[in-house]
Structure 1
Amino acid sequence: MMTVTHTSRNLTTIALLVSIVSCFLFNVTLDGQFKDLVGAWNNTHYAINYIEFGFVKRGLVGSIYYLTFGEIKQSYLVLTQISFIALFIWATFIFFRSLGMQNSRVHLLFLIAPATLMQFASDFGRFDVLLTCCFLLSLSFLQKNLMIALGFAIVGILIHEIYVFTFLPATFLILAVTKNKGNTFLATTQYLIKQPSVYFTLVFIVTVLIFGKFEGGYLNLLTAFEKKGIPLITDPSGSIHVWSRSISDNIGFTIEHKLRLNLAMAGSVFTVIITIIYFKLLGTQLRKFQYLLIVACYLPLFLLGTDYARWISLAFITLFCTFVMIEKEPVSEVVDWRLKYFSLYGPFGYSGFPPILIKIKDLAKQLLVG
């Protein structure tokens, strides 16, 4: 039976307060209006489901939403997203409890870092918070039951295919290390090659990519959105095509419209690399190649998409959890000010600032203009 200590309750309370304040700060305007979620691009994902559109990628959450609420409505979307954030707080507790660190400073710092609750609130409506939940729960069961851990990873892939780049590689790397087979790159590779779970996951990923396409076509998709009352029926960027394009078409569209080798992307990648250097500065004996491989898996996202703040935040979460699991004993004893500093002020987000500073800057501009 789960025992929740006084410290754990305090951490949960702090997490809830941070999430509530962040949700209001990032989503409520100065005149008290909550931002429109129905017309936002990222919330069109809730309209995609297996029941109406067949087996499509990113259709799992939409299917649950369809069976629960049925219609796309502002209040339902807000309630759903807040439920996801509450689920994240619970999954975080489960993860740190599995390591015996539920009452640790590291648990608190992870919750209040800009990469977690503040980022999820600032980008309200995306599935990133659910992907993180799947990752945390997968890691929690990695040693106890590999099938359950793999099941959470499969759910993550069904929620959004970026799970393949973000959390899945770290899951298998951590598996190799914790089985004492991943002390070197060669040992890790040899161990993973022998694992049937790796091949099962690869087959599943290919299946989703090949068959996870809406065969009705783009125009039928827009018609369906219009019937649901979603105002986003014109799509200048072509993003809604993601559900009806083939893999080759998606790659072509990305190269033509989204591939951006610019200063912002370079700065974002640099921020992720700085994270690795930071871990080294903590003075622990790091298995550096695991962290380098994780960053390498993130690089395609920086090239194929321009949501750099998302990639930085997810990379921070991945590296932080990997660091905690691989270096469990040293981490539990870390009280160094550098850990506190980085967790509170990193990852940096756009323009070298964490999300909270960006919001304060935007509010200040609004007040000056007003």
Structure 2
Amino acid sequence: MMKLEKIVLFFNIKILIYFIIAATVLFALVFTYIHNARADGYILGDWLINYQDGGFKRRGLSGSFFFLLQDLSGIKLNFLVYFFQFIIISSFFYFYFKLIQYKEATFIYLSLLLSSIGFVGLFNCVDYVGKKEFIVFFLFAYFIYHLNQNSLSKLIENSVCVGLFIAMFFHEITLFFIPYFLIALYLKTEKVELKRYSKYIIVVFVPAILIFLLGNDINEGQSLQILKERGVVLTKGIFFWNIDERKYIIAHFNDYRLYIISLFISVLHIGFYLKYQTHRKVTSILLFSAFLFSLPLFYLAIDWGRWMYIHMMFLIVLFAMQLKDSTQSTSSEVLKLNLKFYVTLLIIILSLTYRVEMSGRGFTFEGFFYRIFIAPIELLHKMV
């Protein structure tokens, strides 16, 4: 016991958080590049949905944007998309780093990053990398950083709203996570500002209505040929997707019901975190409302693990704003061997043991520990 006390006395949580940030951004950038280089139909393909095939449609702005850049530069689409992804992913982690740089890190906050659907989720499910939600992650981190610094001027706030408006034409999931922007404003100002909130609501609902009323199918029949002529050959992915997702979930119910386990663990985790925060009752109600607002996603699409992961990423950024301010960039709480410490440690160990797949199996014991200590041995065994 005395030895453990000495270890925790010199353990700096903030340094570990910095390491996790560096490792996560490196992992995300490397594997995003690999997905693009291999012309992955789900990651690269999603960025290349376009208006050239059949006109206006959901997510089509990104492909038409990159087509224009290719026409102007002559650079391959794979590299153009990756360059944009590189900027967006790096910008998100940069503003997240700036947000927590002068905050006092806590052990229980560290547990959020190590959640199986937090930063560790990227390592557990490599298909999370390179997705369009990083656009919204970046906008939220940028927004929270300025909100925390009391530098959210009208110009910056309006630029965030413009960014959200444009993001809707990149991916419609932007709509389902807009409550986090409103929650952040309320937690910071501690007052209801309906007129201010209306800006955020309008900039996502107007595109949503336009897409719903006027949007064509993602593949109107010519997308694959258009992409082939531009140097990208896809053999699977979003352009081949013609599955009834609700029937798919029902057919794979035995796998999907396992998401109840991972969701239950995550709810307990967030509940335990909020137990040690101020305004926990109001915050709990607001966060529950944000989850309810996203429920249509779980009905419409099969990526249940992805939606849970996005929620946790928003929570990680939101809760960073509420950490105590500090003048030191390595400020970290002094750990005490009490019940809170041991429960948090247990949560971290559990989080590192299980995995939440993007779609399919909602809970397996193939988590971070499995991928570090067991998977490499299994791979070597197969090679021998």
| TM-score normalized with structure 1 length | 0.70
Tell me the alpha carbon deviations over residues 184-232 of structure 1, each in whole angstroms, 9 at most, x when there is no partner.
xxxxxxx5488431552322332233334359x6212232233334433
- Which residue does the alignment assign to 2:301? 305
Greater alpha carbon shift after TM alignment, 154-163 vs 78-87: 78-87
Greater relative contact order: 1 or 2 (C-alpha under 8 angstroms, separation 6 or more)? Answer: 2
How much has 1:38 moved relative to structure 2? Answer: 0.4
2:378 corresponds to which residue? 365
Pair 1:206 & 2:209 matched: yes
Question: Does 2:160 align with 1:149?
Answer: yes
CA distance in 2 between counterparts of 1:363 and 1:78 reads 28
Which residue, out of 89, 92, 99, partners 1:88?
92
Q: Is contact 1:349-1:355 (8 Å) kept?
A: yes
Report the CA distance between 1:95 and its aligned residue. Answer: 3.6
Whether 1:267 and 2:248 are equivalent positions in the alignment is: no
Which stretch shows the higher mean deviation, 108-117 or 193-202? 108-117
CA distance in 2, matches of 1:153, 1:340: 37
1:44: Cα distance to partner? 0.6
In structure 2, how many angstroms separate the alpha carbons of the residues matched to 1:12 and 1:366? 30
Q: What CA RMSD, in Å, does the superposition of the two structures yield over aligned residues? A: 4.3
Using the size of structure 2 for normalisation, the TM-score is 0.68
Give the greater-gyration-radius structure (CA): 2
For the 8 Å contact 2:144–2:318, the answer to whether it is kept is no
Secondary structure, aligned partner of 2:90 = helix
CA distance in 2, matches of 1:306, 1:256: 10
Superposed, 1:180-195 pairs within 5 Å as 180-181=190-191, 191-192=193-194, 195=197
Q: 1:343 to 1:319 in 2, by over 3 A?
A: farther
Aligned to 2:39: 38
Q: Distance in 1 between matches of 2:272 and 2:262?
A: 15
Report the identity percentage.
Answer: 17
Distance in 2 separating the partners of 1:147 and 1:199: 13
- Unaligned regions of 5+ residues in structure 1, if any? 1-6, 183-190, 243-249
- CA–CA distance in 2 between the matches of 1:203 and 1:223? 32
Indicate conservation of the 8 Å contact 2:53/2:220, yes or no: no
2:184 equivalent in structure 1: 174
Q: Flag structure 2 segments of 5+ consecutive residues without an equivalent.
A: 1-12, 357-362
CA distance in structure 2 between the aligned counterparts of 1:12 and 1:349, rounded to whole angstroms = 23
Report if aligned partners of 2:36, 2:44 keep a CA contact under 8 Å in 1. no
Aligned to 1:231: 233
Q: Alpha-carbon deviation of 1:168? A: 0.8
Judging changes above 3 Å, is the alpha-carbon distance between structure 1 residues 152 and 139 closer, same or farther for their aligned structure 2 residues? farther
SS of the residue corresponding to residue 218 of structure 1 reads: coil
CA contact (8 A) 1:174 1:322 kept: yes
8 Å CA contact 1:84–1:130 kept in 2: the answer is yes
CA deviation profile, 1:215-269 (whole Å, cap 9, x unmatched): 9x6212232233334433566xxx4377xxxxxxx9x933334556532332343
Equivalent pair of 1:37/1:77 in contact (CA under 8 Å): no
Structure 2: distance between partners of 1:263 and 1:92: 33
Give the Cα separation in 2 of the matches to 1:195 and 1:34: 37
- What residue in structure 1 maps to residue 368 of structure 2? 356
Aligned residues: 334
Change beyond 3 A, Cα 1:275–1:224: farther
For residues 94 and 172 of structure 2, what CA distance do their matches in structure 1 show?
23
One-letter identity of the residue aligned with 2:164: A
**1:177 CA drift (Å):** 3.3
C-alpha distance in structure 2 between counterparts of 1:42 and 1:319, whole Å: 24
